[in-house]
Amino acid sequence: MSNTVLITGSSGNLGRATAKFFQRNGWNVVATMRSPDQEQELSALDNVLVTRLDVQDTASISAAVEAGIARFGGIDVLVNNAGYGEYGLLEATPEDKIRSQFEVNVIGLLATTKAVIPHFRARGDGVIINISSIGGKVTFPLGTLYHGSKFAVEGLSEALSYEMAPIGVKVKLVEPGMIKAAPGGGSMSVNDDQSLTEYREFVGKIFAALGPLMDTGSAPELVSEVIFRAATDGTDTLRYIAGPDAEELLAARKAADDVTFLGGIKGQFGL
């Protein structure tokens, strides 16, 4: 019997590539998203169930897990991919957006994981893969909320691995670098306020540098291969770095003290 993976955020760039990669490799795929009625590509693939899951709606999480088990007989791997980046000046960010960043990237991830754990526990097996980021290990300017949420994903995943081990479940972190966005795509929200004149020069420099950085990102297919390896290698490896830019940046962070590394980031952005 084929293995089954449940993936959140499957309508996005990385989630879609990951769903297709698992399907091509003979897996059953529960491809979840907030608006499944608008999905056409994944719905046309064999052994793919497209169903609704909004990480901020616990009823939809439970329904998606139950639908996947009913369709394929079980779930072997959970890929917590749903998420987005809230960027910009903290002073210019409304409180509801601050809360939303953590509700989606952290609380939603925990809620989805919690919904799948009883199934894994009953089976004595399973893999939880949380999509983190190099942004969970290093930071860029204007990323206070996004980096805060991804640092949280790093910590909760590492801690969760202890309690999952006795029930036969592995926890994995995949840390991609920049990922090339699909045309017209991208999961980013930006907050700014032109009246905050003291920040104008700073903000201008950041956005001037961010564009070229985004263009050098890895294809989502490369990252999906790393996710598949994390799901199937059978090891207790916790962290998987995905992309040459991620390898380079994380190596530099490990080798430098705070003053040196942060100084290098400031130099990269012309600060």
Is the separation of the CB atoms in 47 and 28 below 8 Å? yes
DSSP string, 163-202: HHGGGTEEEEEEEE--BPPPTT---EEEE--TT-GGGHHH
Strands 126-131 vs 85-88: parallel, antiparallel or unpaired: unpaired
Q: Which residue in the list 20, 150, 170, 172 is annotated as catalytic?
A: 150
Question: Is 43 marked active-site?
Answer: no
* Known catalytic membership, residue 172: no
Task: Please compute Rg for the chain using Cα positions.
Answer: 19
Sign of CA dihedral 94, 210, 104, 144: negative
**Which H helix or E strand runs over 86?**
strand 85-88
Q: From CA 17, how far away is CA 8, in angstroms rounded?
A: 12
Spatial CA neighbour of 79 closest among 143, 151, 17: 17
* Active-site residue, selected from the candidate residues 100, 133, 146, 224: 146
Calpha distance 125→76 (Å, rounded): 7
Q: 10, 11, 132, 133: which is the annotated catalytic residue?
A: 132
53-65 burial, b for 16+ CB within 10 Å, e for fewer?
Answer: bbbeeeebbebbb
146 in catalytic set:
yes
Task: Enter the tokens of residue 26.
Answer: 């003979």
Supply the residues annotated as catalytic.
132, 146, 150
